Structure 1
Amino acid sequence: MTGGFMLKRFHFLDNLRGVAILMVVALHVFLCYMAYAPEWWFVIDPKQSMFFTYGVVLIDVPVMPIMFFIAGYFAFTSLDKHGVRQFWVAKFRRIVVPWIFGVVVLSPPAMYMILLSRDTAPDFWTFFTDVFWSKMFSQSVFWFLGLLVLFYALLTLCYEVSDRFRTLDLDIKKPGILFTVFFIAVNSGCFLLLNYYYPVDFWKTDLYLIMLQPVRFFLYVFYFFLGVLAWKRGWFQENGYMPKLIPWLLASVISAFIYVHYKMQMPMRGTEFLIKSGNALWFNVFAYSTMMACFAVFYSFFNSANRIWRSFSDSSYGIYLLHSLVVYYGAYFLLNLDASPYVKAEILLTSSVLVCWVLTLLLKRNNVLARII
């Protein structure tokens, strides 16, 4: 094991991870009420608004890179401190068990909602034993855990086979402009290349063990290992690199406007090279700059561990695991409510977060479950 920085909690990263999960819940709520929702979405309410469409477009880009980066940032130090065996014992308990349980137990009723909300559902047993596994298999929100298992395996492989990787000195180094340009350029190139073979939002679900979006897959790999590199280079440590608030916030806002401009042209002009390449470039500029802006914002304003923040961040993983069924079935029961989409979305988002938060706290009273969620 290497020497280096002491493992400590970064409250702003814990809080950012919790808010990122809150944004995932918001994303899934907004999808129910957006105009031009994907035809396959679980519940599509007849009351719709372009406000939620723009919300989906903006939340969808940075939220997963942030989550994969944070996972990578803490992964190497945990692996280096505890060793391979104990690292995987912990990951099996915290990642693999919820992943398997989620795919086998929680994903089928989530997918069933696609048919139920359209009045085309068979009985659930028929769906579970036949339709789900043969025609509608999906890992639902648990795809994230499956990719984490894969990325942890890649990290472990690098750690085991490369002495240089394992014993690399942990030095304070700040990323230069060339590194930022290179990282965005590589991501944009991979994004654009794969976009010639797959739509940006296409999900590949027939691999069973792994569910992914091909166009975004390598982005998530790169962000995970950027997190590993960031820890090795002392980001966020004392005297280490911390993104500057104003420049990155401005970059995030400007790139958001430009990205939305290209994104909204993709349905009609997505085959044109300038539109496709512009969408790829600004997707990745927006993702990276927003992640950096979030680091700066949360370090400056939300770097505390008071009772509410601690409870929310500690419960955020449970909220992620539980929220899909609460959101989809909640949206289903709100279908006939005669109210604006804004009222429905507010009810659904607030109730989903609170229900999952409380349920997580209750489940954590069990010592076994507390070690999992």
Structure 2
Amino acid sequence: MKLERRYDIDWLRVIAIGLLLIYHIAIVFQPWALFIGFIKSNDSIEALWKPMTMLNVWRIPLLFYVSGMGLFFAMRKRNWKQLLLERTKRILLPFLFGIVAITPIHMYIFQIHYSFPFDYVPHQGHLWFLRNIFIYVLLLTPLFYYLKKHENGKVKKVISSIMSHPLVPIIVSIFFVIEVLLVKPQMFALYALTWHGFLNGFLAFLFGFLLMYSGDKFWKTVNKWKWMYLGLAAVLFAIRYTQFNTESPGYLMAIESNLWIFGVFGLGFKYLNRQSKTLSYLSQAAYPVYIIHMFVLYAGTILILPLEISIILKFICIVMFTILGCYFIYEVIIRRINFLRPLFGLKPKVKLNNKTINSIKK
């Protein structure tokens, strides 16, 4: 396996987390926000949901794809025992900590805002994503290490050949189409705590690994055909928006989802595969920000929604409050307090004394 660092994958993870924040803030300004446990603005910006319906079909699957790619890199210098230990520390520990100490905070803010009686109940909330990822790791690790062991064999050649075909988004989409035809989800974008979300994420995680495993030809293919993928995705979105009121048949949405994602992969490979200090910082911050962003968002809503300002300005203010609030908590607390770092998926800082430094130099 090649040891080349892929900065575009890191950038896509950061961008996907950023889109998640904007998406959750947009829900606050929808008339149905209260029905899914969000604090709701009395005034709505329903037009804000139009671009969100385009993002809906691919933002979460993209994160699962990228997570599968991340596991490919994590396996480079680890045996299966080391990998499971590392994933337990990085995924399971933050998940367990989050459901008892983080997600109850935003529910507490919700209860205060609506004058509900306080009820502390540990729950997954938005951290269901981490649970799914950890299960995928447990289920797929034997297969992945088998593939790693036989990376010069016929299976690798077949996978590389398939993944380098220009129609690879359609080929991969066949499996996602089968999933929606079997599960028949009520809505395609209902990923959280549903069998559809679990199986969709499983496939995306699996293919994320396989895309990296297949080698460089895949990336050259998506780079060459990225505008065709994005154009076809836009056509399917236009049909979904105009003919089906944003919820077209599941098989069309599965294809649209993968066309967007493979087009984004091509754009990322072309324009984002370069190192920067900004990326280094944001890549470290993205995971903790994902974990804490909901209670920061809820705090922002109860402070800003009552203000006598325009609805658009409220939206902008909540966006800024959430971003700056997450930055402050990450930078001042999580990043600097060593015992907290593992609880948010970060490695603890190791203090090196002079003897250790001299030994490393030798």
* TM band (smaller chain): 0.7 to 0.9
Which residue of 1 is the match for residue 124 of structure 2? Answer: 139
Corresponding residue SS for 1:71? helix
Which residue of 2 is the match for residue 325 of structure 1? Answer: 295
2:194 to 196, 199, 213: 213
CA deviation map 1:153-212 (0-9, x unaligned): 01223346xx4674243555443256533432331232243226x554557xxxxxxx62
Which residue of 2 is the match for residue 292 of structure 1? Answer: 262
Q: Which amino acid aligns with 1:222?
A: L
1:82 to 70, 78, 83: 78
Instruction: Between 100-109 and 185-194, report the one with greater CA deviation.
Output: 185-194
Query: Are 1:187 and 2:176 an aligned pair?
Result: yes
Query: Are 1:347 and 2:317 an aligned pair?
Result: yes
CA deviation map 1:272-319 (0-9, x unaligned): xxxxxx431232122111111211222222333222232222211111
TM-score (norm 2): 0.83
Q: Percent identity?
A: 19
1:148 to 133, 136, 147: 133
Instruction: Between 178-187 and 10-19, report the one with greater CA deviation.
Output: 178-187
Q: Structure 1 residues 305, 359: CA separation in 2 closer, same or farther (over 3 Å shift)?
A: farther
Query: 1:239, 1:60 → 2: CA distance?
Result: 27
Q: Which amino acid aligns with 1:213?
A: T
Which residue of 2 is the match for residue 366 of structure 1? Answer: 337
Corresponding residue SS for 1:81? coil
Query: Are 1:257 and 2:242 an aligned pair?
Result: no
Determine if contact 1:248/1:292 at 8 Å carries over to the other structure: yes
Query: 2:73, 2:268 → 1: CA distance?
Result: 22
2:306 to 315, 336, 356: 336
How far is 1:38 from its partner? 5.8
Query: 1:199, 1:297 → 2: CA distance?
Result: 28
Q: Structure 1 residues 182, 300: CA separation in 2 closer, same or farther (over 3 Å shift)?
A: closer
1:229 to 194, 210, 214: 210
CA deviation map 1:252-289 (0-9, x unaligned): 322222233355265xxxxxxxxxxx431232122111
Query: 2:166, 2:71 → 1: CA distance?
Result: 26
Corresponding residue SS for 1:297? helix
Q: Spell out the pairing of 1:1-373 with structure 2 (5 A cutoff).
A: 5-37=1-33, 39-119=35-115, 121-122=116-117, 124=118, 127-128=119-120, 132=121, 138-159=123-144, 163=146, 166-169=149-152, 170-171=156-157, 172-173=160-161, 174-176=163-165, 179-195=168-184, 198-200=186-188, 212-235=193-216, 242=223, 244-261=225-242, 264=245, 278-362=248-332, 363-370=334-341, 372-373=345-346
Number of residue pairs aligned between Structure 1 and Structure 2: 337
TM-score (norm 1): 0.81
Determine if contact 1:243/1:293 at 8 Å carries over to the other structure: no
Q: Structure 1 residues 349, 292: CA separation in 2 closer, same or farther (over 3 Å shift)?
A: same
